[in-house]
Amino acid sequence: MSSFHRAERRKSVAERSPSVSYAPDTIPQLAGLEKPQEHNLHIGECDVLVMGTGLVESVVAAALSWQGVDVLHIDNKTCYGDSNSTLTIEQVKSWCQEVNSGRIQHFEDAQVYVTGDIYHPQSKFKSKDYGIDLTPKIMFAQSDLLSLLVKSRVYKYLEFQSLSNFHIFENDSFSTKFANASSKEEIFTDQSLSLLTKRYLMKFLKFVLEDNNDEDKRKTLADNAKVTIYDFLSQKFNLETSQINELIYSIGLCIKPTTKTPEAIARIRRFLVSFNVYGNFPVLVSKYGGPGEISQGFCRSAAVAGTTYKLNTALTDYDPQLKLAKFSDKSSIKINEKLIVAPTQIPKFLQSSYNEITESLKKVNISRLVVIVKKDCKEWMADQECSAMVVFPPESLNSQNKTSIQALIQNGGTGVCPPGQSIWYLTSFEQDSIKAKQDLQCAFEKMESSILRESSDLDDVLDENLSVNKSGTSLVVNSVKLGKSLQNFVPKETLEIICKFGFTQKTYVLNDLSNVINPTDENNVSLRKTKDCEDIIFTNMPSSEISYDGIVKECKTIYQAITGSDDDFFDVDFEDDDEFNPAGFHQQPTTSSSNLKTSDNDMAIASSDDEDNAHPFGADEMEL
């Protein structure tokens, strides 16, 4: 059983998007990306060594490369993505083992359960049909990372799909009152809202969308800097709790009731300005996986610009005087400028420096529960879409959750699992990890009973609804179904679970991203000075943020620390007038997950045949 997971890997970005889609005049050899790197590194020197192929590190590698910097990019793992990886089920299993054996820092308490079905010789689905993100994320249509993807042309390696449905769990039921509808249009035409409510909602939305330089707005925000968003909305805009919860937790994706007004307004604004940028939805998700997929896109771009890649390679020693780095493959290379080190890649000899700079920083826990279920969960998704968000506000669960739980649901249409199945990513921001687990489990159970009820009485509801409302849009259908209380529902069937996987991740990035947005040498790991070695820059572990916010800023901070300025960050003239074409978004699910077929394609990639990590698995597997 254990023999096949050695070289297992998902199809790479490169395989899905052959280089013809992106053809600069000269394409350097994609060392390590499209062809396996030779056994040893055969370069004598480089300007910058980047360790870890997580999202931030990959963007930085690409940015530096396009500016003419000679970059060597390595990872001590056998696949791309580091802490942002998109993993197959088998890879998840070995990852759990490594975490629990202490070989991967900053992760704890990894647990995985996998149904035996998948190993059945006749099973239609294999481990490789799944792409599980360690850091699931959604992308706002108006956001700096999306602009960067366009500017850098990396979007060409990726496929995006829209996500419109944001459900909120409240009073023991799911609802979408206006999260899908946070536009003037919906508020104008919605017959269920009173004129007064319409008025206050619109007033608030208008306030949020007002130019941030507007004097009145600035003053209002300054006056309410210490006021919680809940008080602000109830006192200044007379909104009711259910509307406020939706604005704060669903549209704003805030995590706790004490979120202050300016931060919450910025979060709500981000949602609203993203509407109608590429269509009538606020958010996009990348197909086949999130940050793992995007990291690979940037690695590929970096390779085009000349970065050398090697996986399964670690730094073993570094001499600051001679600037000489030694690697686990026995090669040694001179590093002319800097070393960028991801926290999961820290060699033993740097551990004390890292401990020193992080000593005084606040540690944040992020707890995740990932469940793969045999249901496509279409009931939660908008017409023609394959992803949805579900949010549980604080105090909405029986476990008396103090912070919200955010859940991203993606079905086979997104290429992360086979058709008819879906992956649920639940995240808790609770610092007490035992409590976090309870909250996650509780939220999972609510989702479970909800999806069972909805899929079982779908036809009744449809009939009922059609007789009530002639227009019968999917939105109305959804809200009627999801609006039903769960209390009286006894499931007739149980939910079939393929895989259940949980862990806790640590980071020094604060939940409000304040130490990323305004980094100083006091608050941010990357800017803290290391005493013994000035050449080293540590990066951050991924933040708890469900969106990609903060990523570009982090990259620029590191880029600036190396080049002295971020003015020329991705300042590349690609000389083609190709514009980002919204029509290129695949809003419709592809009919099959043909890209996930298990054909073993050996011509490519990135994986390490040279090292064996065939530890027997099973020791860490247990049900959560």
Partner 1 sequence: MWHNVKKQTLSSEARLAKIERDKEKIHSYNKLKDEIFKIRNEGSHTVEFLNKLTDLLGLNPEFYTIWNIRRETLSSLFHQHQLDSQSTLEDELKFVMVLMKRYPKCYWIWNHRLWCLFQLGKDANWEFELGIVSKLLSMDERNFHGWQYRRVVIENLETHDDLENLKINLQEFKFTSSKVNSNISNFSAWHNRSKLIPKVYHLVGKLNYQDEPLFQSKESLLLHELTLVNTGMYVDIDDSSIWVYLEWLLSDCFFIDELSNDKYHDILNDQLKIINELNDLEITDNGKDNCWCLKAMIIINELLDNRSAVRPLLEKLIDIDPLRRGRYIDQLDSF
State phi, psi for 266 to the nearest 5 degrees: -60, -40
Q: Write out the DSSP string of 339-360.
A: EEE-TTS--GGGHHHHHHHHTT
To partner 1, the closest distance from the beta carbon of 201 in angstroms equals: 8
Residue whose pair of structure tokens reads 């999917």 in the numeric block: 474
Q: Is 572 in the site for partner 1 (CB under 8 A)?
A: no
Whose Cβ is closer to partner 1: residue 199's or residue 217's? 199
Nearest-approach distance from CB 189 to partner 1, in angstroms = 5
Site string (76-115) toward partner 1, x via CB under 8 A: ----------------------------------------
Residue choice 103, 198, 334, 506 for contact with partner 1 (CB under 8 A)? 198
Site string for partner 1, 299-318 (x = CB under 8 A): --------------------
Binder among 6, 103, 203, 586 for partner 1 (CB under 8 A): 203
- Report the residue number, 6 or 217, with the smaller CB distance to partner 1: 217
CB nearer to partner 1: pick between 281 and 444: 281
CB 177 within 8 A of CB 476: no
> Can residue 188 be called a binding residue for partner 1 (CB under 8 A)?
yes
- Does position 189 interact with partner 1 (CB under 8 A)? The reply is yes
Question: Is the Cβ–Cβ distance between 505 and 364 less than 8 Å?
Answer: no
Q: Which range in 184-192, 449-457, 513-521, 608-616 contacts partner 1 by CB under 8 A?
A: 184-192
Amino acid at 110: A
d(CA 184, CA 267): 19
> Cβ 568 to partner 1, closest distance in Å?
11
**Binding range to partner 1, per CB under 8 A, among 119-127, 187-195, 366-374, 610-618:** 187-195
Contacts for 566-570: CB closer than 8 Å, 24+ residues apart = 568/67, 569/63, 570/62, 570/63, 570/66, 570/148, 570/151, 570/152
Could you count the other beta carbons within 10 Å of the beta carbon of residue 258?
12
Nearer to partner 1 (CB atom), residue 212 or residue 592 = 212
In the set 6, 103, 151, 199, which binds partner 1 (CB under 8 A)? Answer: 199
Q: Which of 1, 196, 490, 622 binds partner 1 (CB under 8 A)?
A: 196
Q: Provide the mask over 204-243, with x wherever binding to partner 1 is found by CB under 8 A and - wherever it is not.
A: --x-------------------------------------
Of 186 and 337, the one with the shorter C-beta distance to partner 1 is 186
Using DSSP's 3-state secondary structure scheme, residue 164 falls into coil
- Evaluate whether 388 touches 418 at the Cβ level (below 8 Å): no
Q: Which residues of 93-115 are buried (b: 16+ CB within 10 A; e: fewer)?
A: bbbbbbbbeeebbbbbbbbbebb
Please identify, using beta-carbon distances, which residue of 188 and 349 lies nearer to partner 1.
188
CB of 277 to partner 1, least distance (A): 13
Q: Which of 451, 433, 447 is nearest to 502 (CA)?
A: 433
Q: Tell me which of 43, 150, 202, 510 binds partner 1, using CB under 8 A.
A: 202
Smallest separation, CB 514 to partner 1 (Å)? 29
Nearest 10 degrees: Cα torsion 601, 160, 513, 342: 10
Continuous segment of H or E residues that includes residue 496: none
Structure tokens belonging to residue 81? 């993505």
Does position 574 bind partner 1 by CB under 8 A?
Answer: no
Closest approach, Cβ 162 to partner 1, in A, equals: 17
> Which residues have a Cβ under 8 Å from the Cβ of 143 and sit 6 or more positions away?
270, 274, 547, 548, 549
196 vs 622 by CB, closer to partner 1: 196
- How many residues sit close enough to partner 1 to count as binding (CB under 8 A)? 12
> CA–CA separation, 396 vs 249, rounded Å?
11
* Smallest separation (angstroms) from partner 1 to the CB of 245: 22
The residue range among 80-88, 155-163, 179-187, 207-215 that interacts with partner 1, by the rule CB under 8 A, is: 179-187
Report, in Å, the least distance between residue 202 CB and partner 1: 5
Question: How near is the Cβ of 476 to partner 1 at its closest, in Å?
Answer: 15
Sequence-ordered list of residues with C-beta below 8 angstroms from that of 87, at least 6 positions apart, any chain: 10, 79, 81, 95, 131, 132, 133, 134, 292
Task: State the nearest-atom distance from the C-beta of 573 to partner 1, in Å.
Answer: 8
CB neighbour burial string for 373-386, b if at least 16 within 10 angstroms, e if fewer: bbbbbbbbbbeebb
CB of 151 to partner 1, least distance (A): 15
For the CB of residue 190, give the shortest distance to partner 1 in the complex, in Å. 10
DSSP string of 271-325, one letter each residue: HHHHTTSSSS-SEEEETT-SHHHHHHHHHHHHHHTT-EEESS--EEEEETTTTEE
Residues that bind partner 1 (CB under 8 A): 184-185, 187-189, 195-196, 198-199, 202-203, 206
